[in-house]
Chains A and B, each alone.
Chain A
Amino acid sequence: MDLKERLRQLSSITKSPWGPEHQEERPLRERLERLLRPKKASHQREVVPIENLVKGEVLSTPWGETFQAKEYFPLNYRYGEMSLSEILSIPTYPAHLLLRDERLKELDFKKALFLDTETTGLCGGTGTFAFMVGLGYFEEDGFVIQQLFMRDYSEERASLSFLREILDSFQFLVTFNGRLYDVPLLETRFILSRIVSRIREIPNLDLLYPARRIWKGAYENCRLITLESRLLGIEREEDIPSEWIPSLYFEYLKSGDARKIYRVFYHNQMDILTMVALAGRIHLIYHNPYAAQPRKGIEHLSLGRLFWDHGEREKSIPCFEVALKRCEDELAWEAMRWLSMALKKTGHIEKARALWEEMLSWPYPKDFFPYIELAKYYEHRCKDIEKALRYVDQALRLPLEGRPREIELLLRRRERLSQKKGKDAF
């Protein structure tokens, strides 16, 4: 038996359908196939190459050809709430604080390359290719989006060698989840093509991290596409879901017909523009939380915490205040906790006390926080041990379960206070 025959038989083992439902299915499928075959065949004959659908050019390199599309956007182009020139003119950007990377202190969008790849799979590993590398950068009079596209796997080396040259002329990268995804993936591609690249060393403003800090919990998730529509209010015209992209590319590889894959160019372009808009939005909200008109209380709360972490206390208190005004009941407790602690630590202890007392009347207490704070307040500030003890006892009567550690701490506080009380009386 020859190899082919053996393979055919083997595969019929693992794939062969069992059971009666399949037997009934077969005639229908045969009928369908008979009906569809002629149409399908004529479809297959017509092949439209990518060059006919996308404005671009074939690049020649010492390692063969590859395809590139290039598009210009004037600086007055508005995408989201800021124009490109406004984004470009941002004087200081908090990137180094947001990403905890000192090298980003010098970030200048004129020297930054926005990068987003389209790949043949989402799981990573050496068998995943970046068949498209979308790049965006500012020039004198506009913003350029340049997309390197492999018309086949054989064009990878040419594409990558081109990419390497472009990378060399930029000091910064701007990505969305690029630290964990796009950059390692491209690094792997470079190694496999035996090209030396410094892609990993380029300081990378990965917008996913600040986006998560500010908008986590505000929307259903923190994907770029979600932020684009829900936060920036941008609607795409004819987009394709990202999950489809790998199979569209495989289909294109097989048939050479670009009539589906060409839409990925639009998709990728939108991703890059959204990254630009998101970078602007983060800047705006960071420097002027009011002007940016955050849409939800949670954004203010997150921002307040961000400022607090960055040591900008005076900026964080107003954020917490707005958060408390705007947010839903569930978040109010958190907002009050943060606001009161911020007030306490900035010397506004009385304001904080008022908040804690307000929290006491909350119908669904979430934890012992206000009781403990009030106990501390009365013990240390007012030296009123009696009153402090009363708050601890009240806390212990709360219908809160499953907090053994906290209850233990409360009991310890109670013991200490009781001792102190005894001593005072003595």
Chain B
Amino acid sequence: MSIEEIIESWKHSKNISPCITEIRVFPRREGQYQPFPNFLHPLLIGALRRQGIERLYSHQVEAIEWVEGGKDVVIVTPTASGKTLCYNLPVLNQKLRDPASKAFYLFPTKALSQDQRVELQSLIERIQRPIRTFTYDGDTPQEARQAIRTQGDIVITNPDMLHTGILPHHTKWLNFFQNLKFVIIDEIHTYRGVFGSHMTNVLRRLRRICQFYGSSPQFICCSATIANPKELAERLLEREVHLVDRNGAPSSERIFIFYNPPVVNKELGIRGNPLHAARKLIAPFIEQGIQCILFATSRLNVEILTKYLKDRFEKRLEDKGKIRGYRGGYLPEVRREIEQGLREKRVKAVISTNALELGIDIGDLDVCILAGYPGSIASTYQQAGRVGRRSEKSLAVLVARSQPLDQFMVENPDYFFGSSPEHGLVNPDNLLILLSHIQCAAFELPFREGERFGKENLEELLRYLEEKGALHHVDQHWYFTQEAYPAERVSLRSVSEENFVVIDTTKKKEEVIAEVDFTSAHTTLYEGAVYLCESELYTVERLDYKNRRAYVKKTEGDYYTDAIDYTDVSILEGFERREGKGIQYEHGEVRVTTRIVGYKKIKFYTLENLGYGKIELPDLEFHTTSYWLTFKWSLLDKLPFSRLDLIDGILGLGYAFHTMAALHLMCDPHDIHRCVGDRGAKWFVRLSRDSKGIYSSLHCSEKISEKTLGLFEPTLFIYDNYPGGMGFSQQLFDDTFELLEKTSRLISRCKCQSGCPSCVGPVKEMGERSKEVALSLFHEILKSC
């Protein structure tokens, strides 16, 4: 049977057909080609010809020409459209013209660096010139490092290594920095939120050092499809960047199917197990020997699926190795072997985490099944892009879970297939992040008076650090005066310096398995919490708050824990305000005070509540930026609901709005938090163990009576869950109506009766009428639009 015949059989299957919510067919696309530009070195053209490349795709030529003209460029084209040539060609061309020239390649992960080096190396071998490429990261042996620093022409590394290992030792790279011509940043869509904000600062430091050595490298960036690649690149590089986004690569006919497992528990809105569905869907292809890839959302799921499929399809000896799992944590040799097996078609099916989503070369496959929405449209396209480059026909199937985002996607295919809505955002001038990097930068080179670094008033920040004893001001310079190495204390993946370390005590030898930033530690590392790390479950046995350590042990429970916190938000300053129909929305700066009072034990998959535990931790207080949406009484009074029901509706609306906001901002749902209170920030809604109620501030346990609810103007706060803020709230403010509309669609298209985890949240928590009220609210707000 062919792919087409299998799809046909699905359409006629009683079980499968009702679950298919969408079939989209994208016709075959011819490639658009252009001849080699005349400025390419003959040796390079010869090498390409020997590789069988006689001409280039149009987007490759466009990118190379802009680079030749001295521009910084960001290239946005799908997976496997030959974007590596867009940077490899200019870099090698420059190298052939000027043998002294050097380049940095930055990839977000180590695995990717290895893979790119192999590809680059094979092109260099065809040129037959001694161009030396090396990876330089945490795994590089000490004794090899000096040779790389002095002899490397192209050094492939990651932002963390640049931050802690290269920039603070730039004098050892003297020759490299003096001749640095190009900096390549691939997968720039991964540099968003906190990571991206740090990245901008690392690049600020890099440019500062280049300036010291008299070089000014050109930047070439690549990105997956997001709404604002040019804007993101420009915010990361802080200068004008040229966008190349007209893809010239050919593609086969692609079929995209959305599959929504049937509802198994109507009341709770729980759907069938997506892993089970994925297994069922992939089986006929394996039987037919059609090569496929199955993406799972966690390492644990990868292992489970691999085991199931091996049990079924590797019964005979000659079938051994047909099915392989793939994830981070496998040894590099094993991974290389699987990749090669895929290219040589020995491996028929691979089950992978998103580790295979980025540009690792595994050849062209035919069928891709996604067991669960990967969290962003960009990732979905990256994963689906694993198939259908050269083959006649290819298929991608997205299997939805019960989560709101998954449900929204399969129920709103037009939204998914429309132009990318996801924004990569960064806030490099978040004060805490900025202050950390100013110290790192001062360590690297003293600051001169009048120098600039970031958009805040640098001199004031330097003076502040001087007062704190971190810097010393003399003779128009600020010098670093601390013993400790500042970069070591700054993790590019979190905001605050004070991380908690998670220590696994399962084995005799204690082992640090993770670091958790200060804020998140409160909601993830309380005693009794189930901590998830690489799909393994751990129970927190002891929290040494003072020394910032959590001691955990492996466990095999069937539940996870969710902290119950009471949060107060008080508005410090509003930046902008707008009015809508019955609503008012603003963004600005707030103080967030959170008290964690307990936790729920929640069963996996069914999300059943298994019980509660108590937590005693100090209150957490921080300043951040927030977006808030106030519902006026003029609006609420019109609706035929009691005040308590109205509050339920707003809570449910907030639940769904939060989901859509995370989608829109392309951030993790934990990167933003929500809270419902009144605009004056005197009263807050608490979801507590037995009941829900409205209480005044944290220190007062007085519950507001229903009669006085009239004074309460309910306000939904969505704030950045990082001290100092990430810049999310401004975007929410600007796109309020787009978001409200999407949220309304998510709720109205959900097939549950009166609320479920896929839309307004579980009925038991949100109340019987939550969904109904939320929809009426939307009806009023969006009426005139």
Using CB atoms and an 8 Å cutoff, list the residues of chain A in contact with chain B: 1, 3-4, 6-7, 9-11, 13-14, 16, 18-19, 120-127, 129, 152-154, 184, 187-188, 191-192, 246-247, 250, 253-254
Contacts and interface: CB of A to CB of B under 8 A. Distances in A.
Interface in B54-113: none
Top 3 closest pairs, chain A to chain B, by CB: A127-B443, A18-B618, A154-B475
Q: Is the interface of A mostly helix, strand, loop or mixed?
A: helix
A10 B618 contact: no
Given A121-B484, A122-B483, A127 B619 contact: no
B474 A1 contact: no
B456 interface: yes
Interface stretch (B164-172, B637-645, B678-686, B726-734): B164-172
B475 A152 contact: yes
B486 A127 contact: yes
Contact of B432 (A14, A154, A191): A14
A191 B545 contact: no
Interface string B436-465: 000000111110000000001100110010
Given A153-B479, A154-B475, A4 B168 contact: no
Given A19-B618, A192-B445, 10 more contacts: A1-B589, A3-B461, A4-B460, A4-B464, A7-B435, A9-B623, A10-B724, A14-B432, A126-B444, A154-B474
A191 B170 CA distance: 10
Nearest to A9: B623
A330 B174 CA distance: 50
B403 interface: no
Given A7-B431, A122-B483, A154-B474, A127 B442 contact: yes
A237 to B, nearest CB: 26
B480 interface: yes
Interface string B409-441: 000000000000000000000011001000000
Nearest to A122: B483
A13 B723 contact: yes
B619 to A, nearest CB: 7
Contacts of B488: 123
Contacts of A127: 168, 442-444, 480, 485-486
Nearest to A191: B171
Nearest to A16: B621
A14 B724 contact: no
Given A1-B572, A121-B484, A192 B456 contact: no
A188 B171 contact: yes
Contacts of B171: 126, 187-188, 191-192
B632 interface: no
A146 B312 CA distance: 80
B498 interface: yes
Interface string B136-174: 000000000000000000000000000000001111101
A184 B169 CA distance: 11
B472 interface: yes
A127 B572 CA distance: 38
Contact of A153 (B464, B477, B497): B477
Highest count of chain A CB atoms <10 Å: which of B474, B481, B498, B589: B481
Contacts of B485: 121, 123, 125, 127
B340 interface: no
B469 interface: yes
B431 A14 contact: no
Contacts of B464: 4, 7
B481 A253 contact: yes
B526 interface: no
B496 interface: yes
Contact of A120 (B456, B475, B483, B621): B483
Contacts, number: 100
Given A120-B483, A192-B445, A10 B477 contact: no
Nearest to B480: A127
A338 to B, nearest CB: 29
B518 interface: yes
27 contacts: A4-B460, A6-B431, A7-B435, A9-B623, A13-B622, A18-B619, A19-B545, A120-B481, A121-B483, A122-B483, A123-B483, A123-B488, A126-B168, A126-B444, A127-B486, A153-B475, A153-B477, A153-B479, A154-B477, A188-B171, A191-B174, A192-B171, A192-B445, A246-B483, A247-B483, A253-B472, A253-B474
B738 interface: no
B706 interface: no
Interface string B175-208: 0000000000000000000000000000000000
A254 B169 CA distance: 26
A192 B477 CA distance: 14
A12 to B, nearest CB: 8
Given A124-B169, A254-B472, A10 B589 contact: no
Nearest to A185: B171
A125 B498 contact: no
Nearest to A121: B483
Contacts of B432: 10, 14
Given A14-B723, A126-B171, A253-B481, A153 B573 contact: no
B443 A126 contact: yes
Contacts of A121: 482-485
A383 B488 CA distance: 65
Nearest to A190: B171
Contacts of B518: 14
A14 B497 CA distance: 8
A254 B468 CA distance: 11
Contacts of A152: 474-475
Contact of A14 (B445, B498, B619): B498
Interface string B326-350: 0000000000000000000000000
Contacts of B573: 1
B623 A250 contact: no
A11 B431 CA distance: 10
Contacts of A122: 483
A6 B444 CA distance: 26
A58 B78 CA distance: 66
Nearest to A253: B472
A13 B724 CA distance: 10
Contacts of B174: 191
Given A120-B483, A250-B481, A10 B442 contact: no
Nearest to B213: A191
A20 to B, nearest CB: 9
B169 A126 contact: yes
A87 B431 CA distance: 59
Nearest to B619: A18
Nearest to A12: B621
B169 A153 contact: no
Given A125-B443, A154-B477, A246-B483, A3 B469 contact: no
A122 to B, nearest CB: 7
B116 to A, nearest CB: 28
A264 to B, nearest CB: 15
Contacts of A187: 171
A227 B76 CA distance: 62
A218 B547 CA distance: 37
A152 B446 CA distance: 13
A6 to B, nearest CB: 6
A6 B497 CA distance: 18
A18 B619 CA distance: 7
A7 B464 CA distance: 8
Nearest to A243: B483
B572 A153 contact: no
B777 to A, nearest CB: 33
Contacts of A253: 472, 474, 481
A165 B168 CA distance: 28
Nearest to A194: B212
A158 to B, nearest CB: 12
Interface in B471-530: 472, 474-475, 477, 479-486, 488, 496-498, 518
Nearest to B723: A13
- Counting chain B CB atoms within 10 Å of each CB, the highest count among A13, A123, A187, A246 belongs to A13
Contacts of B482: 121, 250
